[in-house]
């Protein structure tokens, strides 16, 4: 299941801040601040989708992410690879490294990550 852009923005705050109250989510937004009803609606949709949970403290709810950022975006990347690259991670990697115009340093960093993953798989 996917999140809308507005829902992803709220998830970013939850991933970055950890458990957070709605008033703090509103405060974290740049001006003009969204209405509390807008944030409440988004949070309810995200709860229904299984991305957000909460704990009640008096009359307030403290919201927290139920899905990690890595899991969420990992599923998106896997979906992109399946849909656009015939389920070939190497075709995706080839496209990614050429289409994003990575610097030599970034390519070296990526090479190091790949080499480390190869070592991990061999163990």
Asked if 64 and 19 count as a contact pair (C-beta separation under 8 A), the reply is: yes
Domain boundaries, the chain: 5-65, 69-122
- The answer, yes or no, to whether residue 94 has pLDDT greater than 90, is no
CATH, range 5-65: 1.10.10.10
Q: How far apart are CA 11 and CA 53, in angstroms?
A: 11
45: CB partners within 8 A, 6+ apart: 7
Beta strands in 10-90 (DSSP E): 20-21, 52-57, 60-65
Give the tens place of pLDDT for each residue, 99-122: 888 889 999 998 899 889 998 988
Q: What is the pLDDT of residue 16?
A: 93
Q: How many helices (H) and strands (E) does the chain have?
A: 6, 3
Q: Which residue has the higher pLDDT, 15 or 100?
A: 15
User: Which pTM was predicted?
Assistant: 0.73
Give the tens place of pLDDT for each residue, 27-73: 888 899 989 999 999 999 999 999 999 999 999 999 999 999 999 99
Give the tens place of pLDDT for each residue, 81-90: 998 899 888 8
Q: What is the pLDDT of residue 89?
A: 86
119: CB partners within 8 A, 6+ apart: none
Query: Of 45, 12, 47, 18, whose CA–CA distance to 30 is shortest?
Result: 12
């Amino acid at each position: 299941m996917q999140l809308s852009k507005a829902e992803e923005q709220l998830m970013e705050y939850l991933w970055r801040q950890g458990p957070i109250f709605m008033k703090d989510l509103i405060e974290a937004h740049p001006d003009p601040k969204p209405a509390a009803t807008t944030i409440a609606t988004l949070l309810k949709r995200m709860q229904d989708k299984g991305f957000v949970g909460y704990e009640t403290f008096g009359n307030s709810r403290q919201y927290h992410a139920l899905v990690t950022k890595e899991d969420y975006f990992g599923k998106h990347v896997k979906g992109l690879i399946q849909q656009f690259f015939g389920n070939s991670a190497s075709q995706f990697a080839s496209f990614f490294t050429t289409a994003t115009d990575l610097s030599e340093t970034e390519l070296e960093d990526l090479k190091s990550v790949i080499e480390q993953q190869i070592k991990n798989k061999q163990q």
